[in-house]
Amino acid sequence: MQASEPSTKLSSKLSTESGAAGFNRIADAALAFNQRYWRFVVVAMLVLLHVAALRGPADGWARALLLAHLGLLLIWQPFVRGQYQVTATQIALIGLGAATVTLWLNAWLLVFWVVVLAGLIGGKVFLHQARWQRRFYLLVLVYLIALLAVELLPGIAPRREITEEARATAQYGLPALFLAMALFPTERDAAEAPQAIDFFYSIFLMLLLGLVILGSFAFMTLGRTGYLEALTYTVFLIAAGVFLIGLAWNPYAGFAGLNVFFSRYVFSIGLPVEKWLYFLAELSQAESRPERFLAEGIAGLTRLTWVSGAAWRTEHDHGEHGAATEFAVDYENKEVALVIYSRYRTSPALHWHLRLLGQLLGEFYLGKLREQKLQQQSYMLAVHETGARLTHDVKNLLQSLNTLCSAAEQNRGADSPELQALIRRQLPVIAQRLTATLDKLQRPRTDAEQTVAAGAWWMALKTQYEGRGVEFSGQRAAERVVLPRSLAESAADNLLQNALAKRQGDPAVRIRATLACDARLEFRVIDSGRAVPPDIERLLMRAPLRSASGLGIGLYQVARQAEANGYALKLEVNRDGEVCFAFTGPLVSA
C-alpha cells in the first residue's frame, strides 16, 4: 500500500499536466481560427447571447447556449494575449465560471454579465485601431446597450412597462445588426492585430452603465415614474454631469483644469523632482569623487519620506544604507545598479517615481565618471604634448651635435682653427639649450613662460646655424622687444630643421631665414624645394602627421603652443621653388 501511494500521486499529476496540455492544444487551434475569422466568432458569440436572453435564465437550453457563448468568448480572448498558454489555475477559474452559469444563473447575473461585456467592447472602441475596427466594435456596443435596455432591464425593473410590440421589435430587429457586422468591410492585415482593451475606459463604461441602471430604478421607486421616463431622466442627468466634469477637467478658456491637479498629485507624490535635482546639483558641486558622490547620494535618498533604504553595486564597490523592505524598486545602467526600498507598497505611480529618482542619481554618477575620465585624459594629453615637444627639442640638439661630429670627422688628424671656432660657438649654445630642456622637464606646466630678448635670440640663431648653408637677412630687433624663449626656439628649430631635411634629398635647395620687426614680429623660413603635397597641406599644423622626414608632429606642437601664447604659425606660400613658413605675433616690450 505504501508503494502505491507515490504512483497514485504521480499518475494524478501526469493526468493534470496532460489535461492542461490538451487544453493548450485546443487553445492554440482556436487562436489560429480566431486570427482568420474573428469577426464571425464575435457575431456567433452575440447570437448565442441573444438567444439565451430571449429564452430566459430559467431555461435549460439558455444555460447551455450561454456556456457556448462563454466558450466563444475564450476563443476570441479580448483580455488575454493569444501567445500566452493557459495554466491549470486558469482552467480551474474557467470551470468555476461555467459552474456558476449552470447552477446560479438568474436575471441579475445575466444583466451583470452584459454590462461587463459592454465594458470590454467599449474599451476596444477607444483604442487607436483602424477606423473600420472602431466602427465594428461601436456597432457591437450599440447592440449590447439595446439588448440591455429593451430586453433585460424590463425583466428586473420595479415597473415592467415595455410593450410586447417593442419587445418583439428588439427580438427580431436586433439580429439585423448581426448581418451588418458579418458584412462589415475589413482590411487585409488588421485581423492579426493583438486583441487588447483599454482597462480605464472599460471600468468607466461599466460604472456608467451601472449608474444608469440603478438611477433608473431609483427614479421608478421613489418618483413612481415609468420605466422609459426614468431611463430618460437618468440618461440626461448623467450626460449633463459627464459634460460638466469634462469642462472642469479640461476647460477651453485657457484655465488650468482638474487634469493638471490630478497629474501633479500622481507624479509628485509629495516629493517634487525639482527638490531631488537641486540636492544632486549641490552634491555634484561639493563632491568631485564619483564613489563618494554615490555614497552621499544614497544617504540623501534614504532621508526621503517614501524611502526606507537603498543599496548600490558598482564594478569595484558596493554598499547599502537604511533598512531593506519587501517593496523594492530596481534601476541599473552600465556602471551602477541601484535597489531602492520603499516604506509602503509601491503603486505604479510610486514605482515610476522611485525609479526616476534612481535614474537621476545614476545619470549624475555617470557624469562624475565621465568627468574623472576626462581629467585623466587631459593629464595624459598634457604629458604626451610635453614629451612630444621636448622630444623634438632633443632631436634638434642631437642634429646639432651630429653636425659637429661630422665636421670633426672631416678634419680628423688636423688641428683646424675653423673647427675649433665652430666648436667654441656651438657647444655653449647646445649646452644652454639642453639646460633649458631639462628645466622644462622639472618646471611645472603652470609656471610662466620665460622670455628672451628678440635681438639676442636672432643673434644666437645665426650663430647656431652658421656654416650650415642658411642665409640670414633682416633687421635687428629693438633691445626691449622680448619673445617667449621656448616658443621662439621651438618654432625656429622646427622650421630650419625641416628645411635642412629637405636639402638632404635635394642638395640644390636654398634656405633663407628673414626677420622683420616693424609693427609685428614676422619670422620666415623660405626654401626653394618642392611644394608640400596637398594631402599633407590640408592637415599640416592641424593634426599630427606621419611622413618619411618626420614633417608634421613638430609643427603641430609649435602651432598649438603659438596659438596658446597669441602667436601664429602658418604656411604662407606653397609652390615648387618657393615654400615659405611664417611665424608671426605681437611685439612685446620688456
Q: Are residues 456 and 355 in the same domain?
A: no
Same domain as 284, residue 180: no
Whether 189 and 48 map to the same domain: the answer is yes
Query: Per-residue pLDDT tens for 434-474?
Result: 776 666 665 544 444 678 888 888 888 888 787 788 899 87
Same domain, 25 and 164: yes
Q: Which of 325, 342, 374 is the last residue of a domain?
A: 374
User: Are 22 and 133 members of one domain?
Assistant: yes
Are residues 83 and 172 part of one domain? yes
Q: What pLDDT, on the 0 to 100 scale, is given for residue 504?
A: 84
Buried-state track 216-227, b at ≥16 Cβ within 10 A, e below 16: bbebbeeeebeb
Residue 45, all three cell numbers: 458569440
Asked if the structure places residue 538 within a domain, the reply is yes
Whose CA is closest to 587, among 523, 521, 488? 521
**Closest CA relative to residue 382, chosen from 437, 438, 446:** 446
Amino acid 236: pLDDT: 93
Helix axes 88-104, 4-55, angle to 10 degrees: 40
Map grid coordinates 477607444 to a residue. 126
Report yes or no on 493 lying in a domain. yes
Distance of alpha carbon 572 from alpha carbon 537, whole angstroms: 11
Domain boundary among 356, 374, 392: 374
CA neighbor of 493 nearest in space, from 390, 383, 381, 575: 390
26-30, 89-93, 350-354, 424-428: least confident range: 26-30
456, part of any domain: yes
* Residue 430 pLDDT > 50: yes
Same domain flag for 475 and 582: yes
pLDDT grade, residue 327 (50/70/90)?
confident
CATH number of the structural domain spanning residue 567: 3.30.565.10
Range of the domain at 337: 266-374
Question: Do both 145 and 282 map to the same domain?
Answer: no
Other Cβ atoms less than 10 A from the Cβ of 383: the count is: 11
| pLDDT in the model for residue 188 | 47
Among positive and negative, which fits the CA dihedral 355, 356, 360, 361? negative
Q: How far apart are CA 480 and CA 517, in angstroms?
A: 12
Q: Which cell is 144 given? A: 449590447
pLDDT value of residue 12: 46
Query: 185 exposed, middle or buried (CB, 10 Å; 0-12, 13-18, 19+)?
Result: exposed
Q: How far apart are CA 389 and CA 277, in angstroms?
A: 44
In a domain, 429, yes or no: no
Whether 93 shows a pLDDT value over 80: the answer reads no
Q: How confident is the model over 169-191, as a mean pLDDT?
A: 74
CA distance 48 to 42: 10
In-domain check, residue 379: no
pLDDT reported for residue 578: 92
Q: Which of 229-243, 342-356, 525-539 has the lowest mean pLDDT?
A: 342-356
Domain boundary among 163, 194, 225: 194
Cα–Cα distance measured from residue 81 to residue 481, given in angstroms and rounded to the nearest whole number: 85
Answer whether residue 53 shows pLDDT above 50.
Answer: yes
Residues 554 and 464 reside in one and the same domain: yes
Task: Name the nearest CA neighbour of 100 among 149, 57, 143.
Answer: 57
> In this predicted structure, which of 136-150, 161-175, 257-271, 520-534 has the lowest mean pLDDT?
257-271
Least confident range of 70-74, 89-93, 327-331, 486-490: 89-93
Distance CA(4)–CA(108), nearest Å, equals 49
Task: Please name every residue paired with 156 in a beta bridge, in sequence order, or none if there are none.
Answer: none
Least confident of 2-11, 141-150, 344-353: 2-11
Number of domains in the chain: 3
Do residue 169 and residue 311 come from a single domain?
A: no
When pLDDT is averaged across residues 112-138 and rounded to a whole number, the result is 81
35 with 179, same domain?
yes
- Whether residue 103 sits in one domain with residue 187: yes
pLDDT at residue 552 in the model: 54
Residue 146: phi and psi, rounded to 5, are -65, -45
Q: How far is CA 478 from CA 473, 523, 587, 588, 589, in A?
A: 16, 15, 10, 10, 9
pLDDT above 70 for 343: yes
Average pLDDT, the chain: 77
Q: Using CA atoms, how far apart are residues 568 and 583, in angstroms rounded to an integer?
A: 6
At residue 467, the pLDDT reads 76
pLDDT at 27 over 80: no
Residue 221 lies in a domain: no
Is residue 50 in some structural domain? yes
Q: Using the predicted structure, report yes or no on whether residue 84 has a pLDDT greater than 80.
A: no
Per the CB < 8 A criterion, the answer to whether 358 and 366 are in contact is no
> Is residue 249 domain-resident?
no
Higher pLDDT, 25 or 445: 25
